[in-house]
Structure 1
C-alpha cells in the first residue's frame, strides 16, 4: 500500500510577516516550519506502519525551495521518501490551483491513501482535501478524529465528532482523508531520527513533469485578487471599568458606540 501525506511549509506563526511588491507573502524573508496541523497526519501515517500495515509512506509538498525543510521534518518523524513540486510559475496560486498541481502529482506517483491535516496554519481554509478528492474521483473523509485501515477489506475508517454525536465513517480505498488534532500527539524526533531524515530520498518535480501548463496556476489564474495589504496595528491599552455603581451603564455605552447593541 502506498500512503501519501500532504505536508506544507508555512511561515512561523510567531514571526513578523512581510509582503512582497506583488502583495504576496515574502516567504524568503520569513522563517518557516512544517505546518503544525500536518504533523498529526504524519504521526498517523507512521503509526499505521508501526501497527503492522505493509505500506510505503511518501510525503508530498508544493512550494518554493525552502519547502523541502517541511519534508525533512516529516521524514525525521518516519516514512520513506518525499516529493517536492517546485516551479516558479506556482507563485501566488490559490487553493484551486494548488489542488490541481497536487492531484497531478498524486496521479504521477500513485497512491492508495492520501492523508492531510485538517487545515494549514497559514491559510486555514480546510478545502484542499475535498478539492483533491473531487479531482481524483475518489471518496473524501474529512475531519477524522482517529484513523484505521483494513488492507484486506480495502477500507479506511475514521470517527468524526459532531455537535450532537460521533459519526463512524467508512470509505473504500483509494481515498483522501483529513485528520484533526485529536488523533494523537505527534512525536518529537530524536537527533538520530533527524539525521536519518536528512538522508532519505526526495524527488523534485516541475509543472512540465506533471503536464500542468503555467497559465493554469499562479496569481494570474487565481480566483481571488488581493488589492491591498496592511500590517495589523499594535495593541492598545484597554479601558478599565471600576464598578462604582455605574459600570453597567459604561459597558452598555461602550457596546452601543461600537455597534454591538
Structure 2
C-alpha cells in the first residue's frame, strides 16, 4: 500500500471496530476511525496513534466530513474502508415499530451505502479494499432478530453487487461474525445459563475474541487477499456450518 493512503474504520471505538483499529494500526497502517463516543475515541487515538473522527453514521453530513478528512490525509487515496458501525435490536416482530425499522436500516445499511459511495473515488484511486461487517444473522434467520437480520442481509447483497460493478478497481468483501465477546453480548456473558446455551451452538465451543475477527478484516484489506472479491466470510467458529445433532 502507498505510504500516503489511509484506511477508514467506522464504529471504531468499541468491540470489533476497536480491535480492527488496533490491529491495522499495529501493522503500521494509517487509520482514521469513527465513532460517537468521544472519550473512548480520544483514548484509543492516544493508545495506538490512529486518528479519531467523531461521527454518527446516521448523519450524512458527518459521514461526508469523516471521508473528506481521510481523503485529505491520504492525498486523495483510501486504501481500505471497514464498514463496521452498527446496532442490534432484539424484539418479537409484531412488537416492533416503523421507527425501529427506519433506525436499524439507517445505522446498519444506509450508513454503508453513504460511506462507500463517498469513499469510492479515493478507493478507486488506491485500488482499495472494502470490508463490511454483516453477521451470521445476515446468512440465516434468528428468532427475535427479524429487523437486524434484514439489515445485515442487505449488506451481503450490496457487497456482492458492488464486487461485480467495481471488481476491476476495488475489492468488496463482507464478514459474518458469530458470537463475539463484545459489549453487545454482555447480557449473555453475564448470565451463565444463557452463555452455556449460546456456546453449545458453536462447534468451537467458545465465544470469539474481537481480535480474531479483526485479523480476518486485516487480511481482507491487505494485498494478501488480492484475488478475494465478492466473498462473504463467516467468522463464527462453525456456527452456520450445518444442522447439529
User: Do these two structures clear the TM 0.5 threshold for a shared fold by scoring above it?
Assistant: no
Q: TM-score, normalised by structure 2?
A: 0.38
Question: Radius of gyration: which is bigger?
Answer: 1
More strand per residue: 1 or 2? 1
More helix per residue: 1 or 2? 2
